[in-house]
């Protein structure tokens, strides 16, 4: 089994994505997660670019990594400067890493028009830099920037750039599709041509500007590349880098290459979500392998087939990559799907039971009103319990009022008063908040906490609003989705109304009641 070395650039190339800024602590956490996953190299940044990166390298030196080598990243020496006098190279050495990645020009246009030097001087810059770093005992990866674009217009010079790096002792020559516009067939043919004339190990670095970075990376490996550069979730400059979360399972599970320890593959989804969280990005739920929708099934025929044999509509077992299968609740799901969900609540019911039909009718009626339960299964469970007579409300809303005042003062512009009843006891409370929903949420919690202290654990993690019938202008219905967590589980609830506050209230109530229901039914340890 051929070993493929994963070279992760989430902390360097990924940090060049719009809206991404890692703290030193963020970087340390990501390094530890990537090392546990089993990647070979972690490119952590340019130590000469800013004090934060240098601080990171100082802290990283104390890490006890099991699988990965930390890589410092920088350019070849500057034009007309001796390597020993180049500040960038000296900062790379001060970083104290065992391995260094150096990028240099391999497209003649970039040399003459961007660097504004001669083609021969560029070759000397590549050779001098790598030779100097090798003399310092470093493993050196050479990124041949713009290689494919350069090769297509002047293959001789692009190969000369590789030869200069190889002769100087580079351990790996990385062919870069820097602009991200090369097609898979071109990647394969050019990588294969390079492989025939170069004895040094070959790597691949692709960008996603043509949405082919994953395919291009896989094609390069099939053509002989043994190092693959990319980022977690494909984050990176412009349209992003090659997505290692897709490349890794494609290479290892589909093509049989050895990338990481087999048991580690089950951590892939959690690592992908962890990086999204650290980067403060909404995780792409449509992402192959690691998205919540990657193994989600909604159509009744699909669900029936998957229940009989998952390979009907799943190309891999979701558990292998640490993901889970999701059977979505909707009007097109069919009786079998509905019954499977109902049976988690009442195992005695059958497909032709009157109660099953009753729940199905109610579901269709609610979806006609604008409810969608595929992402709000917590609210769906409450609906099922109500229709089956297995629902006891934990509290009753008597009344609420919300007042919005502008301009806001210290971020507070709304107040809410709420009257609720728990059994025979009534509670009236008020609270202020940043917006009417926040105020309503605070008031409800304040009213209920003395009855149900556990709701203090609930944290709202997301709030989404969708206008359902925009042609009705201000009289339009809105759908509100609220995502919640108690640090042990996550759940989503839904509310629909012509009044956004009422829709939000319905979703908030479901969120609280679902939490209390789960706690009530939790086995006593």
Domain membership flag for residue 373: no
Interacting residues of 193 by C-beta distance below 8 A, sequence separation 6+: 155
- Residue 222 in tokens: 């099939």
CA 399/CA 417 separation, integer angstroms: 8
Domain membership flag for residue 374: no
CA 172/CA 142 separation, integer angstroms: 6
Interacting residues of 454 by C-beta distance below 8 A, sequence separation 6+: 486, 515, 516, 519
pLDDT of 475: 56
Residue finishing a domain among 260, 289, 324: 260
Separate counts of helices (H) and strands (E) for the chain: 17, 16
Pair 493, 512: CB distance under 8 Å: no
- Residue 300 in tokens: 């009744």
471 confidence band (pLDDT: 50, 70, 90): low
- Residue 255 in tokens: 């093509």
Q: Is 293 exposed, middle or buried (0-12, 13-18, 19+ CB in 10 A)?
A: middle
Is 70 exceeded by the pLDDT of residue 424? yes
374 confidence band (pLDDT: 50, 70, 90): low
Peptide bond into 407 cis (omega under 30): yes
pLDDT in tens, 113-142: 999 999 999 999 999 999 999 999 999 999
Q: Are strands 478-485 and 490-497 parallel, antiparallel or unpaired?
A: antiparallel
DSSP codes of every residue in 434-494: SSHHHHHHHHHHHHHTTT-GGGGG-EEEEEEEEES-GGGGGG--EEEEEEEE-SS-EEEEE
CA 262/CA 253 separation, integer angstroms: 9
Domain membership flag for residue 365: no
User: How crowded is residue 487: how many other Cβ atoms within 10 Å of its Cβ?
Assistant: 8
Domain membership flag for residue 244: yes
For residue 495, give the CATH number of its domain: 3.30.160.270
- Residue 414 in tokens: 């709304």
215 confidence band (pLDDT: 50, 70, 90): very high
Alpha carbon separation from 230 to 102, 190, 243, 296, 313 (Å, rounded): 16, 19, 6, 26, 28
Rounded percentage of the chain residues whose pLDDT exceeds 90: 59
The highest-confidence range among 77-81, 186-190, 399-403, by mean pLDDT, is: 186-190
472 confidence band (pLDDT: 50, 70, 90): low
Residue finishing a domain among 260, 283, 313: 260
90 compared with 342, residue with greater pLDDT: 90
What distance separates the 2 farthest-apart alpha carbons in the chain? 89
Domain membership flag for residue 305: no
pLDDT in tens, 486-496: 877 788 899 99
Domain membership flag for residue 334: no
For residue 48, give the CATH number of its domain: 3.20.20.70
pLDDT of 184: 98
Is 80 exceeded by the pLDDT of residue 241? yes
156-164 average pLDDT score:
98
173 confidence band (pLDDT: 50, 70, 90): very high
Q: Please tell me the total count of domains within the chain.
A: 2
329 compared with 19, residue with greater pLDDT: 19
Domain membership flag for residue 371: no
- Residue 295 in tokens: 């193994």
In 372-411, DSSP assigns E strands to: 396-409
Domain membership flag for residue 186: yes
Is 80 exceeded by the pLDDT of residue 474? no
Instruction: Map 172-216 to HEC letters.
Output: EEEEEECCCCCCHHHHHHHHHHHHHHCCCEEEEEEECCCCCHHHH
- Write down how long the chain is: 525
CA 113/CA 119 separation, integer angstroms: 11
CA 505/CA 397 separation, integer angstroms: 10
pLDDT of 330: 58
Mean pLDDT of all residues belonging to the chain: 90
Query: Can you name the residues that pair with 7 across neighbouring β-strands?
Result: 41, 229
Q: Is 330 exposed, middle or buried (0-12, 13-18, 19+ CB in 10 A)?
A: buried
Is 70 exceeded by the pLDDT of residue 52? yes
Residue finishing a domain among 214, 242, 260: 260
The HSE-up count of residue 312 (CA atoms within 13 Å, CB side) is 13
pLDDT in tens, 263-309: 999 999 999 988 988 888 878 889 999 998 898 877 767 767 877 88
DSSP codes of every residue in 88-145: HHHHHHHTT-SEEEEEEE-SHHIIIIII-S-HHHHHHHHHHHHHHHHHTT-EEEEEEE
- Closest to 33 (Cα-Cα) out of 218, 255, 279: 279
With vertex at residue 346, the alpha carbon angle to CA 343 and CA 348, rounded to the nearest 5 degrees, is 85
In 305-363, DSSP assigns E strands to: 326-327
Rounded percentage of the chain residues whose pLDDT exceeds 70: 95
Is 60 exceeded by the pLDDT of residue 359? yes
- Residue 108 in tokens: 């003649």
- Residue 352 in tokens: 């032709």
pLDDT in tens, 304-339: 787 788 888 889 999 999 998 876 655 555 566 677
Distance of alpha carbon 13 from its chain centroid, rounded? Answer: 15
pLDDT of 282: 78
Contacts by 314-318 with C-beta closer than 8 Å and gap 24+? 316/249, 316/253, 316/289, 318/294
Query: Can you name the residues that pair with 105 across neighbouring β-strands?
Result: 145
pLDDT of 422: 92
Cα Rg of the chain, angstroms:
29
> Residue 243 sits in which domain range?
5-260
Is 90 exceeded by the pLDDT of residue 5? yes
CA 295/CA 323 separation, integer angstroms: 8
């Amino acid at each position: 089994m051929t070993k493929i070395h994963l070279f992760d650039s989430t902390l360097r190339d990924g940090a060049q994505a719009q809206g991404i800024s890692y703290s030193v602590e963020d970087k340390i956490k990501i390094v530890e997660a990537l090392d546990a996953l089993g990647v070979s190299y972690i490119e952590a940044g340019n130590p000469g670019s800013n004090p934060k990166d240098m601080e990171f390298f100082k802290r990283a030196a104390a890490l006890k990594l099991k699988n990965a080598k930390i890589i410092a990243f920088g350019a070849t020496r500057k034009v007309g400067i001796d390597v020993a006098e180049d500040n960038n190279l000296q900062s790379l050495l001060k970083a104290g890493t065992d391995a260094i990645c150096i990028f240099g020009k391999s497209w003649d246009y970039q040399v003459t028009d961007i660097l504004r030097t001669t083609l021969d001087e560029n070759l000397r810059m590549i050779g001098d830099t790598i030779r100097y770093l090798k003399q310092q005992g470093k493993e050196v990866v050479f990124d041949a920037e713009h290689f494919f674009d350069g090769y297509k217009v002047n293959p001789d010079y692009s190969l000369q750039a590789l030869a200069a790096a190889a002769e100087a002792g580079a351990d790996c020559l990385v062919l870069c599709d820097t602009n991200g516009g090369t097609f898979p067939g071109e990647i394969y043919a050019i990588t294969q041509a390079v492989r025939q004339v170069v004895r040094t190990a070959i790597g691949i670095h692709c960008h996603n500007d043509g949405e082919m970075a994953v395919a291009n990376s896989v094609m390069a490996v099939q053509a002989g590349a043994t190092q693959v550069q990319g980022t977690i979730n494909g984050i990176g400059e412009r349209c992003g880098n090659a997505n290692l979360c897709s490349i890794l399972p494609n290479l290892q599970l589909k093509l049989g290459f050895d990338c990481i320890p087999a048991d580690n593959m089950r951590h892939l989804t959690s690592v992908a979500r962890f990086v999204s969280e650290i980067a403060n990005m909404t995780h792409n739920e449509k992402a192959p392998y690691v998205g919540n929708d990657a193994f989600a099934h909604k159509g009744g025929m699909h669900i029936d087939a998957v229940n009989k044999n998952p390979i009907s509509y799943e190309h891999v077992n979701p558990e292998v990559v640490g993901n889970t299968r999701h059977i979505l609740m909707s009007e097109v799901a069919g009786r079998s799907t509905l019954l499977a969900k109902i049976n988690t609540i009442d195992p005695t019911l059958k497909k032709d039971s009157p109660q099953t039909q009753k729940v199905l009718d109610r579901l269709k009626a609610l979806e006609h009103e604008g409810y969608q339960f595929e992402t709000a299964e917590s609210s769906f469970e409450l609906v099922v319990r109500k229709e089956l007579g297995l629902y006891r409300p934990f509290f009753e809303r008597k009344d609420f009022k919300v007042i919005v005042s502008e301009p806001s003062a210290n971020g507070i512009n709304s107040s809410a008063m709420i009257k609720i009843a728990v059994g025979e006891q009534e509670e009236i409370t008020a609270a202020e908040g940043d917006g009417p929903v926040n105020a309503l949420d605070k008031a409800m919690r304040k009213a209920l906490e003395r009855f149900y202290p556990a709701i203090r654990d609930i944290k709202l993690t997301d709030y989404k609003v969708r206008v359902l019938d925009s042609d009705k202008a201000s009289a339009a219905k809105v759908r509100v989705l609220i995502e919640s967590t108690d640090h042990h589980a996550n759940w989503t609830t839904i509310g629909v109304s012509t009044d956004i506050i009422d829709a939000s209230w319905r979703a908030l109530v479901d969120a609280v009641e679902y939490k209390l229901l789960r706690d009530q039914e939790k086995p006593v340890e």
